[in-house]
Structure 1
Amino acid sequence: MSQVRYDGYSEPRSSKVPIFSLAARVATFASLVVTVVILQTNKVTLNTGFRLTYSSLFHSYRYMFYVSILGLVYTAMQIPLAVYYLRARKRLIERYSLLHIDFYGDKIMSLLLGAGVGAAFGATRDLNKAYEESNVPKIHDFFDLSYVAAVFILIGCLGSAISSIFSSLALSKGE
């Protein structure tokens, strides 16, 4: 059975788009939470007493952190809208201009998270290689956890890209 809306578009009850849209947003949110937690807890104190953190020397890790926070805020605002869309089978606000905001917001967030992925993997690889021969005992543990954070921001980027596809479909349908 279909629910007919005032604009003539009917969303089939069996459509999986709202479920997948919500799942992509939740996966993005969860992976970005993990990224932020790893970055916040990944600390190493070197023999010299210097405490190495994501924010101590590395601009790439700071960028990854702030982009993850921005992604969390954006996704947290989008999840309630996705839940409403799943339950009601229609958008909360049926304005074409708001579909454009969703469309462009998802695209920009995907690009920012993608740049965060590149910064994280690039910095971690380069720094790990630079300290490969060093006898600093815990520095490789720091870089290993940085790789884990990079993987989770990659998952967040993929979830955001999937959300971007769904917002593109919604815009093209004129939902």
Structure 2
Amino acid sequence: MSQLRYDGYDHQPRSSKVPIITLAARVATFASLVVTVVILQMNKLTLNNGYRATYNNPFHSYRYMFYISILGMAYSLIQIPFAVYYLRAKKRLIESHYLLHVDFYGDKIMSLLLGAGVGAAFGATRDLNKGVKWSEPKINDFFDLSYVAALFILIGCLGCAISSIFSSLALSKAE
């Protein structure tokens, strides 16, 4: 009969926080980009002369932010089931070296695109709000909502950057 030795330590494997953080980052990215798109869709302005301003007309920076947010939502939506499986099974759904590269480069590219969307949104909003003297006071409400949309795409960018860090770690661990 073998002797059991107790040394005061619990030798059960600890669960890693990486799957939880990865899933949380992907869900936060998706949710914040949904909010960005909804705000941009709702943000409309009709001036006294009948001119309508939206994210799509005449501001190209807001249009860029909108379409990058849609692209980021699609990318996050594809990645969330993989993150859920990783959380539940404690292993990747497809243990392919190629899929790790797709995650690695996809996260990097999406982070850069979202970062460019953040810069375009904050830059355009600041320049249009502070640099131009508008005759109508309600245009400030339009720009205030544009700042909120820019804030949410920034949150999405940060979530994607966190995912990017963990995909980098996963790739380096596999090599």
In the TM superposition, what whole-angstrom CA distance separates every residue of 1:90-117 from its partner, at most 9, and x where no partner exists?
1001100110000000000000000000
Matched residues in 2 for 1:154 and 1:126: separation?
A: 18
Question: 1:107 is matched by which residue type in structure 2?
Answer: K
Matched with 1:148 is: 148
Note the C-alpha offset of 1:50: 0.8
* Structure 1 length-normalised TM: 0.91
Matched with 2:119 is: 118
Matched residues in 2 for 1:103 and 1:13: separation?
A: 26
> How many positions carry a matched residue from both structures?
163
Matched with 2:53 is: 52
Matched residues in 2 for 1:50 and 1:135: separation?
A: 13
Question: 2:49 is matched by which residue type in structure 1?
Answer: T
Matched residues in 2 for 1:17 and 1:137: separation?
A: 48
Matched with 2:97 is: 96
Note the C-alpha offset of 1:135: 2.4
| Structure 1 unmatched ranges of 5 or more | 1-11
Matched residues in 1 for 2:94 and 2:45: separation?
A: 48
Helix, strand or coil for the counterpart of 1:49? coil
Matched residues in 2 for 1:143 and 1:137: separation?
A: 11
Matched with 1:37 is: 38
In the TM superposition, what whole-angstrom CA distance separates every residue of 1:137-175 from its partner, at most 9, and x where no partner exists?
311100000000000000000000000000001001118
Segment drifting more, 134-143 vs 151-160: 134-143
| Structure 2 unmatched ranges of 5 or more | 1-12
Task: Say whether residues 1:169 and 2:160 are aligned partners.
Answer: no
Note the C-alpha offset of 1:13: 4.5
Matched with 2:134 is: 134
Note the C-alpha offset of 1:23: 0.3
Matched with 1:61 is: 62
Matched residues in 2 for 1:15 and 1:84: separation?
A: 14
Matched with 1:6 is: none
In the TM superposition, what whole-angstrom CA distance separates every residue of 1:55-96 from its partner, at most 9, and x where no partner exists?
010110000000000000000000000000000001001100
The CA RMSD measured in Å over matched residues stands at 1.1
Matched with 1:16 is: 17
Matched residues in 2 for 1:70 and 1:25: separation?
A: 14
Matched residues in 2 for 1:43 and 1:130: separation?
A: 20
Question: 2:161 is matched by which residue type in structure 1?
Answer: A
Helix, strand or coil for the counterpart of 1:37? helix
Question: 2:78 is matched by which residue type in structure 1?
Answer: M
Matched residues in 2 for 1:74 and 1:26: separation?
A: 11
Matched residues in 1 for 2:131 and 2:170: separation?
A: 47
Matched with 1:7 is: none
% identical aligned pairs: 80
Matched residues in 2 for 1:74 and 1:122: separation?
A: 25
